[in-house]
């Protein structure tokens, strides 16, 4: 894990971006893995925290998690544990992973919503990385709340169909509640449409509806459907390494540039 950088006497803190949607099947993990890889490829030090108990970030980054090994979910079960020893280096320079526990019981643990935020700050991880990404489950429980309390910005991937608006509205209510209470620094960064085809009127209509409701400046270009994104997970690597000239690789590279611009604005 990298040491904290010191620039002109000032210790820089990582930007913390949570990738979430209250609806399942919206490409949160695909987005988390591929954005993490894109930012690391630019020379940034990136930490990806997988709070989703499907544990698919480990698959996408070729990290093996054996039964009994510590995960981020152990941190939420035991206040005496530290997060640093759970961090795993990936084979891609600058990209580290805190893996999930696929056997974690969502009803287990305590309801302390600041546990992850405290661990990141108290263990110096905000100084050790430039960007911290948090992948989340769609469930409204202590896992999602820990992510939202720790984060500063929220990116919402969504598939443009009729039910998307319901998931986005539900998430917006949660974000408002958290920003009005436990985390006043939390802000909505933007929306990333996935499997999008602008030639389909329904896709355009859903995206335009989200854009109208939350602001056109928050709507990213989107990621087109591409089998290479699925194949990349089968090969246990981000799409930029599996198929660098594919539509999926091109679109996630563009998404990373747009996210970086929004973070800097």
pLDDT tops 90 at residue 161: no
- Residue 68 inside a domain? The answer is yes
pLDDT at 118: 95
pLDDT tops 70 at residue 219: yes
pLDDT digits (tens, 9 = 90+) for 1-27: 654 443 334 457 999 999 998 877 789
- State percent of the chain over pLDDT 70: 87
Considering only 58-62, 162-166, 231-235, 242-246, which range has the smallest mean pLDDT? 162-166
The tally of CA atoms less than 13 A away on the side-chain side of residue 237 is 11
pLDDT digits (tens, 9 = 90+) for 36-87: 999 999 999 999 999 999 999 999 999 999 888 899 999 988 888 899 999 9
Residue 207 — pLDDT band, cuts 50, 70, 90? low
Identify the residue with better confidence: 207 or 60. Answer: 60
Q: CA separation (Å) from 236 to 62, 249, 257?
A: 5, 15, 24
For 185-248, the DSSP string reads: T-EEEEEEEBS--TTSHHHHHHHHHHHHHH-GGGB---B---HHHHHHHHTTS-HHHH-TTSHH
- State percent of the chain over pLDDT 90: 66
Which residues form the domain of 20?
Answer: 6-264
Mean pLDDT, rounded, for 143-168: 87
What span, in angstroms and rounded, lies between the C-alpha atoms of 137 and 21? 8
CATH code of the domain in which 226 resides? 3.40.50.300
Residue 160 — pLDDT band, cuts 50, 70, 90? confident
Is the pTM higher than 0.85? yes
Q: Indicate the angle between helix axes 142-150 and 164-179, nearest 10 degrees.
A: 60
Helix, coil or strand: residue 64: coil
Number of domains in the chain: 1
Residue 108 — pLDDT band, cuts 50, 70, 90? low
- Residue 85 inside a domain? The answer is yes
Q: Indicate the angle between helix axes 201-214 and 164-179, nearest 10 degrees.
A: 20
Which uninterrupted H or E stretch holds 76? Answer: helix 72-77
- Residue 21 inside a domain? The answer is yes
- Residue 1 inside a domain? The answer is no
pLDDT at 4: 44
For residues 251 and 48, the answer to whether their CB atoms sit within 8 Å is no
């Amino acid at each position: 894990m990298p040491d904290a950088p010191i620039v002109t006497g000032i210790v820089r803190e990582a930007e913390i971006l949570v990738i979430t949607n209250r609806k399942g099947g919206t490409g949160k993990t695909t987005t988390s893995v591929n954005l993490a890889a894109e930012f690391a490829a630019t020379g940034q030090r990136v930490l990806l925290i997988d709070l989703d108990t499907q544990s698919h970030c480990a698959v996408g980054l070729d990290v093996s998690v054996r039964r009994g090994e510590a995960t981020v979910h152990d941190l939420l079960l035991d206040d005496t544990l530290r997060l640093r020893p759970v961090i795993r280096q990936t084979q891609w320079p600058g990209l580290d992973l805190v893996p999930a526990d696929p056997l974690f019981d969502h009803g287990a643990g305590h309801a302390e919503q600041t546990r992850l935020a405290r661990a990141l700050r108290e263990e110096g991880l905000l100084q050790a990385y430039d960007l911290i990404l948090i992948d989340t489950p769609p469930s409204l429980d202590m896992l999602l709340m820990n992510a939202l309390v720790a984060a500063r910005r929220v990116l919402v991937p969504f598939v443009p169909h009729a039910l998307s608006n319901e998931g986005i509205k539900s998430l917006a209510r949660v974000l408002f509640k958290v920003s009005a209470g436990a985390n006043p620094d939390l802000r909505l960064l933007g929306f990333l449409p996935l499997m999008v085809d602008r030639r389909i009127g329904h896709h355009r209509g859903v995206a335009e509806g989200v854009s109208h409701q939350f602001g056109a400046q928050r709507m990213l270009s989107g990621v087109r459907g591409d089998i290479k994104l699925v194949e990349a997970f089968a090969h246990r690597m981000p799409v930029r390494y599996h198929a660098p000239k594919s539509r999926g690789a091109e679109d996630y590279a563009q998404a990373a540039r747009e996210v970086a611009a929004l973070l800097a604005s």
